[in-house]
Amino acid sequence: MNLTLKVWRQSGPSDSGRMVKYRVEEVSPDMSFLEMLDVLNERLILEGDDPIAFDHDCREGICGMCGMVINGVAHGEQVATTTCQLHMRHFEDGATITIEPWRAAPFPVVKDLVVDRSAFDRIIQAGGFVSVPAGSAPDAHSLPVRKEDADSAFDAATCIGCGACVAACPNGSASLFTAAKITHLSLLPQGQPERLSRAKAMVDQMDAEGFGGCTNTGECTAVCPKGIPLDTIAQMNSDYLKANAK
């Protein structure tokens, strides 16, 4: 198949950036989206052009490194799929595809489609952990956990930190990401001692990073490749309000 790509090119943080058009020919429907870009990049290198910079690593949907807004949708329209797991068979021959980076002030563009997501690390630093020094843990069976709680905690814990939720949110909110971690730890007995202080610290950090506020529009969960459920945000709000009431 043959395609036209409109790709955001920006040489660095100080460049203002623009959309650039490329033709790619003889794309195989079995290619992944990133492989299609690889092919284009090989050509650009040989033509002496700057290849399109994009983040990726595992290419199997788990590391959370890849991510671009494809035709207006974070990670593309395929449901519950990261960019690296998206395949060209979902596009039509002759189509024009628009590719842009995650857009959010706390995710400044580093180059082309690569953005800086270190704000997420700082949110975790604020409290996204259980304080337990190595070697001091009690036997794993000393605290049984209800299977339902363990399962729900797991659902929240599968967040890969890709940032698609922020990219999709009309408010540029990082609520789903932050809520996923808060919920994961809130549902487990191990997370209880620091539960409220954690929620407060993480939400405050999220706000300090410049992410927008959540108005419950649900765009985030719709694009989340791991389907992090919306009730994590309710859980976060509940813990946060309780923390503030104290």
Partner 1 sequence: MAVTGAVMVLFLVGHMLGNLKIFISRDSFNDYATALRTLLEPLAPYRTLLTIVEVVLAVSVVLHIWAAISLSRRAHAARPVKYAAKKSQAGGYATHIMRYGGVTIVLFLVWHLLDLTFGVVNPKGPVSTPADRMIAGFDPSRWWMTLIYLVAVVMVGLHLRHGIWSAFQTLGWANRNRYKALRTGAALVSAVLVIGFLAPPLAITFGVVK
Partner 2 sequence: MKYAEGSPIQDTKAPEGPIEDRWEKRKFAAKLVNPANKRKLNVIVVGTGLAGGSAAATLGELGYNVKSFCYQDTPRRAHSIAAQGGINAAKNYRGDGDSVYRLFYDTVKGGDFRSRESNVYRLAQVSVNIIDQAVAQGVPFAREYGGLLDTRSFGGAQVSRTFYARGQTGQQLLLGAYQALERQVAAGTVEMFTRHEMLDLIIDNGRARGVIVRDMVTGEIERHVADAVVLATGGYGNVFFLSTNAKGCNTTAIWRAHERGAYFANPCYTQIHPTCIPVSGEYQSKLTLMSESLRNDGRVWVPLRKGDDRLPGDIPDDERDYYLERIYPAFGNLVPRDIASRAAKNVCDEGRGVGPGGLGVYLDFRDAIGRLGRDAVEKKYGNLFEMYERITGENPYDQPMRIYPAVHYTMGGLWVDYDLQSTIPGLFVIGEANFSDHGANRLGASALMQGLADGYFVLPTTLGDYLAAGPFGEVNEEAVAEAEAKVTSRIERLLAVNGTRTPDSFHRELGRLMWDYCGMERTEESLRKALERIPELRAEFWANVKVSGANEELNQVLEKAGRVADFFDLAELMCLDALVRSESCGGHFRAESQDADGEALRDDEHFAHVSAWEHSPEGEPVLHKEPLEYDYVKMSQRSYK
Binding flag, residue 58, ligand FES (CB under 6 A): yes
- Give the C-alpha separation, 133 to 182, whole Å: 20
Binding flag, residue 173, partner 1 (CB under 8 A): yes
Choices 54-62, 122-130, 132-140, 205-213; region in contact with partner 1 by CB under 8 A? 205-213
Binding flag, residue 216, ligand HEM (CB under 6 A): yes
Name the binder of 169 from partner 2, ligand F3S, ligand FES, none, CB < 5-8 A by kind: ligand F3S
Binding flag, residue 215, ligand HEM (CB under 6 A): yes
Choices 69-77, 139-147, 217-225, 236-244; region in contact with partner 2 by CB under 8 A? 139-147
The order of strands in the sheet holding 18-24 is 18-24, 3-9, 96-100, 69-70, 73-74
**Which one, 162 or 236, has the nearer CB to ligand SF4?**
162
Q: Scanning residues 180 to 239, which ones bind ligand SF4 (CB under 6 A)?
A: 180, 224-226, 228
Short-list 6, 90, 81, CA closest to 40: 6
What secondary structure does DSSP assign to 108-173, as a single string?
Answer: -EEETTEE--HHHHHHHHTT-S----TT-PPPGGGS---HHHHHHHHHHHT-----HHHHH-TT--
Dihedral sign computed on CA atoms, order 203, 207, 208, 212? positive
Choices 57-65, 126-134, 139-147, 209-217; region in contact with partner 1 by CB under 8 A? 209-217
Choices 137-145, 168-176, 187-195, 197-205; region in contact with ligand F3S by CB under 6 A? 168-176
What is the helix (H) or strand (E) element at residue 43, kind and residue range? helix 33-46
- Matching residue, tokens 């999220």: 206
Structure tokens that stand for 60 in this block: 């199997």
- Give the C-alpha separation, 102 to 161, whole Å: 13
**Which one, 139 or 208, has the nearer CB to partner 1?**
208
Binding site for ligand F3S (CB under 6 A): 169, 171, 173, 175-176, 214-220, 233
Binding site for ligand SF4 (CB under 6 A): 159-165, 176-177, 180, 224-226, 228
